[in-house]
Amino acid sequence: MTAPAEPALGATRDPAAALELLAGRRLVALTGAGLSTDSGIPDYRGPGSRPRNPMTYSEFVSGAAAQRRYWARSHVGWARMRRADPNPGHVALAALERAGNLDGLITQNVDGLHTVAGHRSAIDLHGRIDEVVCLGCRRVTPREELAHRLTALNPGFTEAHSAQVETAPDGDAAVEITDGFRIASCTGCGGVLKPHVVFFGENVPKDRVARCYALVGSLTQDDGALLVAGSSLAVMSGLRFVRAARKAGVPVVIVNRGGTRGDDLADLRVDAGCSETLAALAGRP
């Protein structure tokens, strides 16, 4: 059997190094898709991940054909994602919050698993896949309500496709044939429904970004640290907060399998899984 490759220069596989650096410090966590892989939700860019091309905002609003394709795939993906449970990494971060060691959490994930795990103050940077927003009246409704409506409009569709396809971190399932899928409109105004998440090409709400900057800005170089878990930091949406912490002299620790775009900004990267590393950090077996 081939031995696993050594971690990159500046990285370690020993969680003890992170525990030592973070000991006694107030933490803010920034999480990505790699944290949820142990819950059965694949990530975008981790080792072995397939290339993915998520639908952009401009494509989604281009018309009914794109919306039909999105909702058909997402309807199948939601049937799986809704059954996902928090894993030891989510549980560990919630335990750190309860113990007073974690001041706040910013997640780039849309799966809502931090809240399910018991977090009281998670900021869902890119929104929540378990909510739906109307692009007309801006009314927000539970995803489960829409799922029931889509099931009634398309009986048997999920069952016919769910065993054959892979699901992405945003709930998109690789369903190839979506012709004939019937989409639902807003029950209030008849407008176009969209998942309450930030699509590629769409801006994160400014007030949400400001809350994240304020959270990171509350840390000091003397007693604070930014903990990045399960993110390659490939997009600026998350990387900007790492840059802000580094500019303020706040220590940055990254836990991620494989290199990240923020490695040169970090004091340490632990090249290991989030579940075992975060559980060790929270003092769990």
Residue 204: which residues within 8 A CB-CB, separation 6 or more? 125, 126, 198, 237
- C-alpha gyration radius of the chain: 20
CA distances for 36 relative to 26, 104, 158, 276, angstroms: 24, 18, 23, 13
Q: Dihedral sign, CA of 80, 31, 45, 135?
A: positive
**Domain spans of the chain?**
11-281
Residue 215 has pLDDT above 70, yes or no: yes
Look up residue 200 and give its DSSP letter.
B
How many Å apart are CA 70 and CA 50, to the nearest integer? 19
Give strand ranges (E) for the chain: 11-12, 26-31, 102-107, 122-124, 127-134, 140-142, 193-197, 224-229, 252-255, 268-270
Choice among 2-6, 54-58, 169-173, 262-266 with the minimum mean pLDDT: 2-6
Catalytic-role residue among 90, 119, 126, 161: 126
Per residue in 99-137, pLDDT tens? 999 999 999 999 999 999 999 989 999 999 999 999 999
pLDDT at residue 13, as a whole number: 86
Choice among 70-74, 90-94, 190-194, 222-226 with the minimum mean pLDDT: 70-74
> Tokens for 183?
């989409």
Check: CB of residue 47 under 8 Å from CB of residue 258: yes
Upper half-sphere CA count for residue 280 (Cβ side, 13 Å):
16
Confidence of residue 283 (pLDDT cuts 50, 70, 90): confident
Residue 53 has pLDDT above 80, yes or no: no
Query: What is the distance of C-alpha 144 from the center of its chain?
Result: 20
CATH classification code of 11-281: 3.40.50.1220
* SS3 assignment for 72-94: HHHHHHHHHHCCCCCCHHHHHHH
pLDDT at residue 7, as a whole number: 47
Q: Is 126 a catalytic residue?
A: yes
